[in-house]
Amino acid sequence: MRVGIVRTDLGPYGIYLSDLESRVQQNFSSHPPGQSRQIHYATDAILESLLINNSKVTVTGNNAAAVFNTAVNNVLRIRATPTDTFAVVAVTAAVGTPKTVIRDDLNAGFAIQGLPFLARVDANILSIDSLPPNNRRGLPGGYLEIDTAANGSTLNIAFNAAWAAAPPAVTGPSVAALRAATFPAPLTIDVSAVTILLLSTYALLTPAQQTALVAAYADGIAPKFTETGYVAMSFSKGVVFKMRQANFQPGGPVEAILPAGVAAVALENDGVTPYI
């Protein structure tokens, strides 16, 4: 089960799920060590933090040859923001350079120059992923741009022949784009893999990268709870139940300073289907 706050007026402390297992409570080995916690509305600051620490952008070529002639075409020009100077990374210059060697040379060059990129090879296809955190680059959603062959980025055609003239420039999602996708309507949260993977070039990531990215975004917006007996009781009769009602009164009737209204939604683990 996932539980996400949909009200924006609950302040920085959110709501404490007090009727779940405490952090010191002993559970069966298959259960977590305690799930009581404070849950919060995903403010812009929280969404920006998710992007800074997790967002990746990717470019993927289409040249499936196992080797490539880098005797002349052995330079990649790449940058991590639209205002950076393009960094120059050279790979092994040889007639039949394996793609794995090109990958390793690129990664060595990225590391030496402090570039937030990682090259990979999947079925002889070269790809480059950006690496979080991106905050030192000033772009929470990530950024990756390759220069043209005319400007000296001659390695482009080892990725894709079309990149010689029109290489990609990819920008990750903004806070506004992430919010629009994951809060598509009032009292609605959607942190499903389908929705998140459409935000940028995430479909080009490896399956493991996709899974980790979706989980990070989803857990930051609508945390996941193991469905123990305590969680089931909270959903049917306790705090989670009350938060989902239109007559929920934040602070209780005595300290009521906020209007009554739905404060949270409960979702299946897929991040979009209402939990029932």
What would the mean pLDDT of 126-153 be, rounded to a whole number? 88
Handedness of CA 269, 272, 275, 276 (dihedral sign): negative
Helix or strand (DSSP H, E) at 170: strand 169-171
Mean pLDDT taken over the chain? 92
Phi, psi of 84 (to 5 degrees): -65, 155
The answer, yes or no, to whether residue 171 has pLDDT greater than 70, is: yes
136 is a domain residue: yes
pLDDT band at 89 (very low <50, low <70, confident <90, very high): very high
275 is a domain residue: no
The answer, yes or no, to whether residue 253 has pLDDT greater than 90, is: no
Do residues 200 and 250 both lie within one domain? yes
Do residues 80 and 28 both lie within one domain? no
209 is a domain residue: yes
Q: Would you state the pLDDT for residue 228?
A: 87
CB 141 within 8 A of CB 25: no
Least confident segment among 12-26, 46-60, 261-275:
12-26
Q: Would you state the pLDDT for residue 21?
A: 85
Q: Would you state the pLDDT for residue 251?
A: 74
Do residues 185 and 155 both lie within one domain? no
The pTM score is 0.90
Place of tokens 């020009």: 77
- For residue 143, give both structure tokens: 């950024």
Do residues 41 and 89 both lie within one domain? no
What would the mean pLDDT of 102-111 be, rounded to a whole number? 98
169, 194, 150, 152: which is closest to 59 by C-alpha? Answer: 169
Domain CATH code at residue 120: 2.60.40
CB 11 within 8 A of CB 267: no
Which residues span the domain enclosing 262?
2-54+176-267
Q: What is the dihedral of CA 133, 135, 139, 145, to 10 degrees?
A: -50
The answer, yes or no, to whether residue 29 has pLDDT greater than 60, is: no
- Asked which of 172, 204, 233 is the last residue of a domain, the reply is 172
Query: What residue type is assigned to position 181 of the chain?
Result: A
The answer, yes or no, to whether residue 254 has pLDDT greater than 60, is: no
